[in-house]
Structure 1
Amino acid sequence: MKTLQTYSGLSPSDKGAVIALGNFDGLHRGHQAVIAEAKAIADDLGAPLGIGLFRPHPYRYFKSDAPPFRLMSAAARAEIMPSLGVERLYEIPFDEDLREMDDVEFVERVLHQGLGIKHVVVGEDYGFGKNRCGNVESLTRLCGERGIGVTPMKPVGLHALYGKYGSTEIRKALQQGDVFHAAHMLSRPWIVDGIVQKGQQLGRTLGFPTANLPLGDLVVPKLGIYCVETRLEGEDVWRPSIASLGTRPTVGGEGVLLETFIFDFDQDIYGQHIQVRFRSFIRGEEKFDSLEALTAQMKKDEAGARSLFGIA
């Protein structure tokens, strides 16, 4: 997959794609349906399949002080996209110039002159342009005037009880600790990835050495203990693990941190990029009266997680 971080000055060989346009945070089942439709159209037209998204996320651009909300890192998203048939990723810079474009300017400057697309697929509720002045109707009209096809897509969901597959719904599920429903909507377990950092190394003294990851701009799920799996950089295997997500109240911790204990593992992985995928919620975060009480509970948590994995 080729990544292009601008919409201006592209070579002719980087133009002419069919694109799915949106934020694609999470690449959940709803996003996958949009991308699959774009791929079918691209195959019919003999054109490459592209994704058009904005960087930074518009929500972060307008609300720089908003709480973390992302469902996946850019690295995780880039790893998954090729498996969906994506050949080009257009990262459209969301800056002051783009913010001031109305719907006509956006279609002309970005989609037509810039990316030179043949067709665009969006959700039927897609809004764009300054103050979201554009919608699917204006997009269809403006693109049609320039020979660009437009396909709007209806939301995708399981059934009326659960509603549509959407990033907001996935965030809510994670914040409730419902990693099963989140995984269903994503079509894969939710993943936190990043560089392992050195912490207080208290876990090592308690017999539970952990790999520590800050969440960065990822949404904060329900705090507590989770059954997880960990993949090390350069490996394909997912290692059974248990993780604590929280503020570490027993030892006076500050800020939310993901601390992952990999079973039957003893390697120095500080500075390595790892991935942690969430399998099940075990219990909420607690403050214990002593380190001894904390250690005793950690041993119970480990035994329970090992049982879930079917390992001794």
Structure 2
Amino acid sequence: MDIFSDYRAVPVSGQAAVIALGNFDGLHRGHQAVIAMAKDIALERGLPLAIGVFTPHPRRFFAPDSPPFRLMSGRRRAHILPQLGVDRLYEINFNADLKNMSDEEFVETVLHKGLGAAHILVGDDFRFGRDRVGDFDSLRAHCAARGIDVSGCEPVGLHKFYGKYGSTEIREALKNGDVFHAAHMLSRPWTVDGIVSTGAKRGRTIGFPTANVGFADLMRPKFGVYAVELRIDGEDIWRPAVANTGTRPTVDGTEARLEAHIFDFDRDIYGQMVDVRFRSFIRSEQKFDSFDVLAAQIKKDARGARAVLGAG
């Protein structure tokens, strides 16, 4: 997959694609429906399939101090998009210039002159331009004047009782620790990725060394203990593990992070990139009276995670 990080510098060879446009945070089933529709159009027209995403996410631009909310890192997104048949990724820098463009200026400057779009596909709730003045109808009108076709895609959901598959709905499920429903909406387990850092190494004293990973701008799930699987970058093996998410109140921690203990594993993986996928919620975060009481609970949690994961 080719990645273009500046719409003002896309060569002619990187233009004339069918582009699914949006934020695509999580690449959930709703996003996949939009991409699949765009793929059909691209195949019919004999054109490349591209995704256009805004970076940083507009929410981060308008509210830089808001709590972390992303469902997926850019690294994870770049890994999954080719699996969906995407040929190109356009990263559209969301800055003050873009914010102040009218809907027509955005179509002319970014989509027409910058990306040379042949066909644009968006969800029916897509909004763009200064003060979000642009909608599907204005997008279609401005694009038609420039020879760009436009298609819309309605929200996709399980059925009317459960609502659409959306990033907001997935975040809500994760806040409740409902990683099963989140995985269903995503079509894959929710995954946190990052570099393993050195911690206080208290887990080693009780036979439970952990791989410590920061959340960065990824949202925080419900704090507590989960059955997870961990994959070291460059390997194909998903290793069963038990993980704690939270601030570690028993040892007076303050920073929210993920600590995963990999079962039957004793390699040093400090400094390596890992992916941690969430399989099942075990219990909420607690503050224990002492580290000894916490250690006893960790052993129970590990047995529970082994049972859930079938890890012996």
Equivalent residue, structure 2, for 1:310: 310
Runs of 4+ in 1 over 3 A off after TM superposition: none
Alignment map for 1:1-312 (pairs within 5 Å)? 1-312=1-312
Residues 138-157 of structure 1 show CA distances to partners (whole Å, capped at 9, x for unaligned) of 00011011111100110000
How many angstroms apart in 2 are the aligned matches of 1:281 and 1:259?
14
Shift of 1:221: 0.6
Shift of 1:247: 0.6
Corresponding residue pairs, total: 312
Shift of 1:308: 1.5
Amino acid at match of 2:265: F
Amino acid at match of 2:83: S
Q: Give unmatched runs, 5+ long, in structure 1.
A: none
Shift of 1:202: 0.9
Q: Classify the secondary structure of the residue corresponding to 1:274.
A: strand
Shift of 1:74: 0.3
**71-80 or 6-15: which moved more?**
6-15
Asked if the contact 2:280–2:308 (Cα under 8 Å) also holds between the matched residues in 1, the reply is no
Q: Classify the secondary structure of the residue corresponding to 1:8.
A: helix
Shift of 1:309: 2.0
Shift of 1:310: 2.1
Q: TM-score, normalised by structure 2?
A: 0.99
Residues 255-300 of structure 1 show CA distances to partners (whole Å, capped at 9, x for unaligned) of 1010000000000000000000000000000111111111111111
How many angstroms apart in 1 are the aligned matches of 2:69 and 2:137?
29
How many angstroms apart in 1 are the aligned matches of 2:42 and 2:9?
23
Shift of 1:253: 0.7
Q: Classify the secondary structure of the residue corresponding to 1:106.
A: helix
Residues 111-155 of structure 1 show CA distances to partners (whole Å, capped at 9, x for unaligned) of 001100100100011100000010000000110111111001100
How many angstroms apart in 1 are the aligned matches of 2:3 and 2:228?
31
Shift of 1:206: 1.9
How many angstroms apart in 1 are the aligned matches of 2:93 and 2:194?
23
Residues 143-192 of structure 1 show CA distances to partners (whole Å, capped at 9, x for unaligned) of 01111110011000001121000000000000000000000000000000
Identity %: 62
Shift of 1:9: 3.0
How many angstroms apart in 1 are the aligned matches of 2:52 and 2:234?
29
How many angstroms apart in 1 are the aligned matches of 2:200 and 2:285?
19
Please report the RMSD computed on the Cα atoms of aligned residues, expressed in angstroms: 0.6
**188-197 or 2-11: which moved more?**
2-11
Q: TM-score, normalised by structure 1?
A: 0.99
Amino acid at match of 2:141: R
Asked if the contact 2:213–2:257 (Cα under 8 Å) also holds between the matched residues in 1, the reply is yes
How many angstroms apart in 2 are the aligned matches of 1:78 and 1:47?
20
Amino acid at match of 2:167: S
How many angstroms apart in 2 are the aligned matches of 1:23 and 1:161?
25
How many angstroms apart in 1 are the aligned matches of 2:290 and 2:132?
54
Asked if the contact 2:213–2:259 (Cα under 8 Å) also holds between the matched residues in 1, the reply is yes
How many angstroms apart in 2 are the aligned matches of 1:141 and 1:289?
65
Amino acid at match of 1:205: T
Amino acid at match of 2:165: Y
Residues 76-111 of structure 1 show CA distances to partners (whole Å, capped at 9, x for unaligned) of 000000000111000011111111100000000100
How many angstroms apart in 2 are the aligned matches of 1:252 and 1:278?
25
Q: Give unmatched runs, 5+ long, in structure 2.
A: none
How many angstroms apart in 2 are the aligned matches of 1:303 and 1:95?
49
